[in-house]
Chain A
Amino acid sequence: MDATPRGLKILTWITFGLFALASYAVLVYAPREAVMGDVQRVFYFHVAAGWVGALAFLVAVIAGVVYLVTKNRTWDTVGLSSIEIGVVFTFINIVTGSVWARPIWNTWWTWDPRLVTATVMELVYIAYLMLRQGIDDPDRRARFGAVYAIIGFLSVPLTFLSIRIFRTIHPVVIGSTDPGAEGSFDMTAKMLQAFMFSLITFTFIYVTLLWHRIQLQHQADRVGQEKARLLAD
């Protein structure tokens, strides 16, 4: 039976510590925003979760390209694992945005370009996970996954750019002067520190979860191979 690699154990503890520190930074260290109040604190993890989603889908593209070139199934595992984590964190991004929007925009949901493109992106990748289940042949499944990850990634820059190219009420916190954005604010030094620390912490969470998820897939592959071997005997 595979034991958890020592490096993964150390990384898990480091990530756990960083997450505790980041939680302290956003809940205690960062000052309360002058207009929105405490709900603004959700912003730090909201953006960090969105960042992890985009990073995870980008890693899946790279894994997809490398798989198509090398035909090494490990890269299919990396792509699948990355997309699964991306779906979880994009979900966090969308629901925390909705919770923030309720007191600030006075609604849980509005058909704003950013909200729509983010939801479409999430659905594109949920479809990836569902469609994979329907393909039995591992090589075909991996090929399909690689191509889908590459094409599906079009939804990521579209989501990122939606608040910059369309008329929207979603704030662009960094580098924005759009007066139409509702809920934008200027970050103080402490807010910026908490924000950057959250981004770093969530990147660590992503790497840690990805490693765990890849380990899990290796376990699943071994069970599949053992079953096939027993049936063949």
Chain B
Amino acid sequence: MFVQNAPADTTSYMLIGFALIFGTIGLYVLSLYVRSRNLKKDLAVLAEVEPRQED
């Protein structure tokens, strides 16, 4: 009667675990993308400023 004969129902914890794994990796990749995009914008602005200074 007290012997466990089926696996524990822990599916919800598995889903939380994988959501955290995929979410954290996804956020880090997104942060790399956003930082790269911002740096490209900075470079474009700097390239625009340079000819004006030469004028």
Residues of A within 8 A of B (CB): 1, 27, 32-42, 45-46, 49, 85, 88, 91-92, 95-96, 99-100, 102-103, 205, 209, 212-213, 215-216, 219-220, 222-223, 226-227, 230, 233
Number of interface residues of B (CB under 8 A): 28
Q: Are A223 and B43 in contact (CB under 8 A)?
A: yes
Residues of B within 8 A of A (CB): 4, 7-11, 13-14, 16-18, 20-21, 24-25, 28-29, 32, 35-36, 39-40, 42-43, 46, 49-50, 53
Chain B residues with Cβ below 8 Å from A27 are 18
Q: Are A216 and B35 in contact (CB under 8 A)?
A: yes
Q: Please report the C-alpha to C-alpha distance between residue A213 and residue B25 in the assembled complex, in whole angstroms.
A: 14
Q: Lowest 5 CB-CB distances: which A-B pairs, in order? A: A39-B10, A42-B17, A37-B7, A38-B14, A37-B10
Q: Are A38 and B11 in contact (CB under 8 A)?
A: yes
Known: A40-B10, A41-B17, A220-B35. 7 other contacts (CB 8 A): A36-B8, A37-B10, A85-B28, A209-B32, A216-B35, A219-B36, A219-B40
Q: Are A34 and B7 in contact (CB under 8 A)?
A: yes
Q: Please report the C-alpha to C-alpha distance between residue A46 and residue B17 in the assembled complex, in whole angstroms.
A: 9
Tell me the smallest distance from the CB of A94 to a CB of chain B, in Å.
10
Q: Please report the C-alpha to C-alpha distance between residue A92 and residue B9 in the assembled complex, in whole angstroms.
A: 23
Tell me the smallest distance from the CB of B51 to a CB of chain A, in Å.
11
Q: Are A96 and B25 in contact (CB under 8 A)?
A: no
CB-CB under 8 A for A223 and B32, given A92-B21, A92-B25, A99-B17? no
19 interchain pairs, CB-CB under 8 A:
A1-B40, A32-B7, A37-B14, A38-B13, A39-B8, A39-B13, A45-B17, A45-B18, A49-B21, A92-B24, A95-B24, A99-B13, A100-B17, A103-B10, A209-B28, A215-B36, A216-B32, A222-B43, A233-B53
Q: Are B14 and A41 in contact (CB under 8 A)?
A: yes
A215 to B, closest residue via Cβ:
B36
Q: Are B39 and A96 in contact (CB under 8 A)?
A: no
Q: Please report the C-alpha to C-alpha distance between residue A227 and residue B25 in the assembled complex, in whole angstroms.
A: 32
